[in-house]
Amino acid sequence: MSTRINTILKNHFSLSQAGLMKLEGYESTNYRVQCDSGAFVLKRYPDTPDTLALLEAENQILNRLDKLSGWEFPITIPNSKGLHLTREDGSIYRLLSFLEGNFLGDVGHTPALLRSLGRFLGQTDKSLLNSTEPAISAKESQWDLKNFRLNYKYLEFIPDPKDRSLVDYFFLQFDENVYPIGDQLRKSIIHNDANDWNVLTKKGLVSGIIDFGDMCHSWLINELAVALTYIMMDKKQPLEVARTVIGAYHEVVPLKVQELDVLYYLIAARLCTSVCNSAYTKTIKPESAYITMSEKPAWSLLRRLVGLSPVRVSDEFRSAAGFHESKKPKPAEQLKRRGQNLSSTLSLSYDRPIQMSRSAFQYMYDAEGNTFLDAYNNIMLAGHCHPSVVRAGQRTMAKLNTNTRYLYDELLSYSEKLLAKFPPQLNKVFLVNSGSAASDLAIRLATAFTGKNKVMALEHGYHGNTREGIAISHYKYSHKNGVGQHPLTLAAPMPKAFGSGFRDDGTAGDHFAEGSLTILAEHKNTIAAFVAEPVMGCGGQVPLAKGYLAKVYPEVRAQGGVCISDEVQVGFGRLGDHFWGYEMHDIVPDMVLLGKPMGNGHPIGAVVTTSEIAKKFEKGPEFFSSFGGNPVSCAIGEAVLNVIEAEKLQEHARVVGNHLKALLANLQGAFPEIADIRGSGLFLGVELSDTNGHPNTKLAAHIKNNLRQKFILVGTDGPHDNVLKIKPPLCFTKDDAAILTNAINAILKDP
Ligand code: PMP
């Protein structure tokens, strides 16, 4: 090949004795040419009509930029016939001047350099603002951010399903936040690739740029989006760096608020374009280091970006260009409106309630632009706004929404997939819309099946907000403002090993079982159902003492009742070692209640039971729920199961949960206020006591409120409200666990 290149150089450019060095490139083969008369770059392209038209247009642009004084751009060198493109042997050759200087990627990014980058891009863009080049406008490049969607086909090549979800999240956000206003964004010809290895510097300032192969007619703001993407990589303060570049650019080409507001999503889109293309390229050219070079920092910036609130980022970018921040809703006004239309029985978390505006995976963003690390909202099992779940909902809602009086695939497919998670005897599912509807229906099923009417439930348990739900929820009926115990409800003491005084979990289990058996004996043959959560949530994250259920279940059945496991809080893999909570107690219930995480925030609940129980119910009036089992909910439920499987969330909960538990145990060594750490996977409780061993409600509230100040969400609960509830979305990481425990450490150190 080098002989051929030398011949071209000699015959067409009268350059002989040239030293050649091959350079990296995407669409062309590039050579650095060194000879007595100077240094050049020779580029060789396949000779197609499109390439020819594009190169002619590119040459026009370079010609125009050449007149921009103070900056350096490659100059096209004419061949001996005076032509700027040389066509031979099915190739097009183009000789360019070689620009001296250090690459942006090889020098320190001082504020002065960042400002010069902003100014440089501003001036380049300004001089191109009114250029029209039909060949460039006609280009349909996947590297043009207005065509971001073209990269969606590469998503499947990203090997890690969690990474894939992160990228898909940003595709989704682009659809929601950028495309709808696309036609309002200014368009222009832009360089479109101001990265570390295209921008040149001299004496610590930007001097010029090379490689116009990605030039396109796109949204003007994309020029900055691309440059910022690379300049923000590997930076301690990426927003500060971006602000400096934006400020300097804005002085040359005044930006519009709308452009600054979409920059967050455009930067994410460029990162996603890059990782998508790297993933795809690796499958066809595994050795291509050049193309995958920026992959690692791109992933790390993408993960960093999702931890930054889009509200905050757009405010920062606005202020860098001298605009006001976005208007924020006033808390007092919101509270007033809430008070006007909603009952005050709906409580608000925290002394200073949070106005939530958006969320993503383990993060929630408030209206002021803060990012909260969510260690509390277990409903978002797969992560807030998980794209697979959102898409399943969007897709099905746009296709069909109806009820179980018709036949449709979504119901069949979901019920099969859900029941496959249970042992063979639990083979019927009733789909409803909440955990409350599930517990209510379960009690009806139990009374119909047994012909009995009493229900035994645990003290401090919670099962739902319907009349039936409240009647069996000690947490509500025995509350200071509660209605009191229902005559048909039997309350068994909470089998909690910690604080019980027994030497171990098993002995405590035996003791509590005996107590419950006494109640059973007193009400023999009248008890329709025994309902218990395998790990009690509202009771204060209490795993039922060992062996308790295994002793109680047979006796409930022996007197003609059924056993119900309320898995609304803990089901679907959160516990790590087990997919369902009952599995940790070595029993199989007759009914299982499902809800909360089942739809990752979409309202679905279910009762899973045996054919015998379902059959008896069929003798009564028809059971119908307008929404239970609708195709949209089923598609969402199935998407949740698929994500749990694909992202191995149960295993993730086990590993991260064990890690978090170990970090909490370290804290316990330093702070005797931490009386107990319990639970498993990512369903943990931290019980706090005072120096006398009494429940420390105040400290629990103090930690919760102070974590809120540190932008971390946890809850408190238990009979004395002295237990920290930790139950994050399962995408919570070991790093997140460290952030949480370091924050608790700081609060306990300085209470
Ligand atoms: N059971 C348990 C164990 C719960 O924690 C809850 C909700 N906190 C419910 C049932 C009721 O579910 P929902 O709020 O969806 O009606």
Per-residue pLDDT of 198-242, as tens digits, reads 999 999 999 999 999 999 999 999 999 999 999 999 999 999 999
> Beta strands 562-566 and 591-594: pairing type?
parallel
| Closest atom, ligand 1, to C-alpha of 437 | 16
Residue nearest to atom 2 of ligand 1 (CA): 463
462 lines ligand 1 (CB under 6 A): yes
Residue 225 Cα, ligand 1 centroid: separation in angstroms? 44
| Closest atom, ligand 1, to C-alpha of 536 | 3
Q: What is the pLDDT of residues 8-59, one digit of tens each?
A: 999 999 998 778 999 877 778 899 999 888 999 999 999 999 999 999 999 9
Place of tokens 């206003």: 181
- 381 in Cβ contact with 572 (< 8 Å): yes
Q: What is the pLDDT of residues 261-275, one digit of tens each?
A: 999 999 999 999 999
Residue 630 Cα, ligand 1 centroid: separation in angstroms? 20
Classify residue 501 by burial, with Cβ atoms within 10 Å: 0-12, 13-18, 19+. exposed
Classify residue 29 by burial, with Cβ atoms within 10 Å: 0-12, 13-18, 19+. middle
Within a 13 Å sphere around the CA of 658, how many CA atoms are in the beta-carbon half? 7
Q: What SS3 class is residue 205?
A: strand
465: which residues sit within 8 A by CB, 6+ positions away? 436
CA distances 204 to 4, 103, 115, 198, 309, Å, are 38, 10, 11, 15, 32
Residue 569 Cα, ligand 1 centroid: separation in angstroms? 7
End-to-end Cα distance, the chain: 73
Residue 5 and residue 43: Cα distance in Å, rounded? 10
| Closest atom, ligand 1, to C-alpha of 538 | 5
Q: What is the DSSP letter of 356?
A: E
| Closest atom, ligand 1, to C-alpha of 439 | 10
Q: What is the DSSP letter of 105?
A: G
Determine the longest span between alpha carbons in the chain, in angstroms: 109
Q: What is the pLDDT of residues 672-704, one digit of tens each?
A: 999 999 999 999 999 999 999 999 999 999 999
194 lines ligand 1 (CB under 6 A): no
Q: What is the pLDDT of residues 609-655, one digit of tens each?
A: 999 999 999 999 999 999 999 999 999 999 999 999 999 999 999 99
Q: What is the DSSP letter of 95?
A: E
Q: What is the pLDDT of residues 365-375, one digit of tens each?
A: 999 999 999 99
| CA geometry: angle 124, 126, 132, nearest 5 deg | 95
435 lines ligand 1 (CB under 6 A): yes
Residue 602 and residue 393: Cα distance in Å, rounded? 9
631 lines ligand 1 (CB under 6 A): no
State the average pLDDT over residues 716-742. Answer: 98
Residue nearest to atom 10 of ligand 1 (CA): 463
* 330, two tokens: 């006033």
Residue 346 Cα, ligand 1 centroid: separation in angstroms? 15
Q: With CA atoms as reference, report the closest residue to 574 among 681, 473, 676, 666.
A: 681
534 lines ligand 1 (CB under 6 A): no
For residue 261, the model assigns a pLDDT of 98
Q: With CA atoms as reference, report the closest residue to 548 among 572, 564, 532.
A: 532
565 lines ligand 1 (CB under 6 A): no
CA distances 432 to 309, 506, 607, 609, Å, are 35, 36, 8, 14
Q: With CA atoms as reference, report the closest residue to 101 among 179, 197, 28.
A: 197
Instruction: Round the average pLDDT of the chain to a whole number and report it.
Output: 96
Q: Is the pLDDT of residue 184 over 90?
A: yes
Classify residue 666 by burial, with Cβ atoms within 10 Å: 0-12, 13-18, 19+. exposed
Residue 699 and residue 719: Cα distance in Å, rounded? 15
What is the pTM for the complete model shown?
0.95
Residue 483 Cα, ligand 1 centroid: separation in angstroms? 19
101 lines ligand 1 (CB under 6 A): no
